[in-house]
Amino acid sequence: MLTPVIRRFSVSLGIASALAGLPVQAQRPAAPLAPQFDLYEKSIPELKKAMESGQVTSGQLVEQYFARIKAYDQDGPRINAFIALNPRALEVAAALDAERRAGRVRGPLHGIPIVVKDNYATVDMPTTAGSLALEGFETKRDAFMVKKLRDAGVVIMGKTNLHELASGITTISSMGGQTRNPYDPTRNPGGSSGGTGAAVAANFAVAGLGTDTCGSIRNPSADNNLFGLRGTSGLSSRDGIVPLSHTRDIGGPLARTMTDLALLLDATVGFDPADATTAASQGHIPPSYASLAGEGDAVDIRAVRIGIVPALFGATPEDAEVGAVVRRAIDVLRGLVGGVSEIAIPGYEEATEGTGTNVSELKWDLMDYLAQFPGAPVRSLDDILSRGLYHNAVAGAIRRANAVESRDSEAYRAGLIRRETVRKTILAAMQAQGLTALAYPTLRRKPAVIGEPQAGSNCQVSATSGLPAMSIPAGFTNDGLPIGLELLGGPFTEPMLITVAFAYEAATHPRRPPPTTPSLYR
């Protein structure tokens, strides 16, 4: 099993190396002459307006983001958010700038730089899922959601690090090393989409894509002061995403603002013939999620009733710090929605037993995925294990998955049935008390110190039920670490969750940039 300390970055500006190691003290680099437009902490609408006015080009945005990556991801605090940077990013940006000059603008994402988790297939960059076993693996195609974003005019800055094979929540991999939390580089950034979370929080791109099997969008959103959405199962296509568990995987956005999240969601959801689950989304997607920020919304926020789930706040002294932050955020919601009350969900804990499918499905799902690509460097988990091409942090998880002897078993089928029971149990409790959404901490514990396990995830509620959940920034601990509040709704109630999150954002302005990655310009 390998734990490499060097990752390669190929960029149009040159070749740099990022070394994994102990965190270093962040220091602001010597400030260059400030440009006409500083992208630091700017939203998609602000970048769009600046490009429309001629204040900045997409190419100049890409150059600024690369400069920030060099200063803070590869040097300075060494956040280590990327596995690879896109060598064609400037070329793509230049082409989009030419389109704009010619009067062709594809939409609000035209020329906007984003990042993509490295388990999404990309036609122009390798797709490694964080594993050295897949180093250099070229799919020669884009995942469905990536293609939709490219068609909308985004520039992909690069592929972000993840917990290897998306199989954990602290974001460490044999391909990418350990990603650090920009709010405190001695702590982890959540996972498995921690590279995307850290990159967006540190302003290495304006927003990004993650995937969520059990908390992998929501946990890094909570740990990085971001908004992150796991949609209803079937809202977006899994086609082209390296699988962990096909019955629970879903892709989605992480962003610093709700408008940015909604704009990425608008561009990536919808029916895909290559993923049968997306048929369920038909008729449930509004013309625009981003428009829900305006007055006269289709969702009446005063009709929203939220149930606090005390059982998900934890009962140990170690849970109290996060719980207090989350309850203060819920107090804000109390003044925005129609009502907030506590709820018990009878039978929930019993129903969730034996419902996890990651271990049961990873071996077979990965084998099926790799079989699509004759040039794949490995064919199975067994190949990865036999060659020692994995990080020690995931050794136990992949050994357990590889030991599964059958795609189908009585226990596996029973677990799927119990998942439907969980869904019905949650919805019945909500209906009985007239509730629209549930509220609880995304994680009951703050980001763990690197090298220690991360406890306290409430990921199962959404992942097991297939119901949508949004993590929103709840606030900070006394030592400056971000905390997330999770809101869960009924099937395809994303418009409700987004409307509530928009209102909360307007009331609290929860965004606070990390201290280790300030503007490059004084």
Report pLDDT for 33.
Answer: 67
CA 236 from centroid of its chain's CA atoms: 14
In a domain, 267, yes or no: yes
Contact 266, 231 (CB under 8 A): no
Using the CB atoms, write b or e for 237-263: b if 16+ within 10 Å: bbbbbbbbbbbbbbbbbbbbbbbbbbb
In a domain, 336, yes or no: yes
List the catalytic residue out of 173, 216, 221, 237. Answer: 216
Report pLDDT for 399.
Answer: 97
Coil, strand or helix at 431: helix
Nearest Cα residue to 448 out of 128, 163, 253: 163
Contact 60, 71 (CB under 8 A): no
Nearest Cα residue to 319 out of 328, 310, 306, 331: 310
Report pLDDT for 352.
Answer: 86
Identify the CATH number of the domain in which residue 479 sits.
Answer: 3.90.1300.10
Report pLDDT for 2.
Answer: 56
Compute how many other C-beta atoms are within 10 angstroms of the C-beta atom of residue 19: 12
239 contact partners, CB below 8 Å, separation of at least 6: 143, 144, 272, 274, 275
Mean pLDDT of the chain: 93
In a domain, 521, yes or no: no
Active site annotation includes 281: no
State the Cα–Cα distance between residues 442 and 169, nearest whole angstrom: 13
Which pLDDT tens digit goes with each residue over 354-410?
777 778 999 999 999 999 999 999 999 999 999 999 999 999 999 999 999 999 999
Which pLDDT tens digit goes with each residue over 191-244?
999 999 999 999 999 999 999 999 999 999 999 999 999 999 999 999 999 999
User: How many angstroms separate the Cα of 227 from the Cα of each of 8, 333, 498?
Assistant: 30, 16, 10
State the Cα–Cα distance between residues 147 and 373, nearest whole angstrom: 18
State the Cα–Cα distance between residues 11 and 15, nearest whole angstrom: 6
Report pLDDT for 522.
Answer: 75
State the Cα–Cα distance between residues 484 and 325, nearest whole angstrom: 9
Report pLDDT for 355.
Answer: 78
Domain residues for 487? 45-508
Eight-class DSSP state of 447: P
In a domain, 518, yes or no: no
Report pLDDT for 26.
Answer: 43
Cis, bond preceding 192 (omega within 30 deg of 0): yes
In a domain, 29, yes or no: no
Global confidence as pTM:
0.94
Nearest Cα residue to 249 out of 278, 290, 220, 288: 278
Contact 323, 314 (CB under 8 A): yes
In a domain, 376, yes or no: yes
Active site annotation includes 471: no
Query: Which residue stretches of the chain have pLDDT < 70?
Result: 1-33, 294-298
In a domain, 68, yes or no: yes
R_g (Cα) of the chain, nearest Å: 21
List the catalytic residue out of 192, 233, 245, 457. Answer: 192
- Give the total number of structural domains in the chain: 1
List the catalytic residue out of 42, 70, 117, 148. Answer: 117
In a domain, 161, yes or no: yes
Active site annotation includes 386: no
Positive or negative: CA dihedral 155, 158, 164, 168: negative
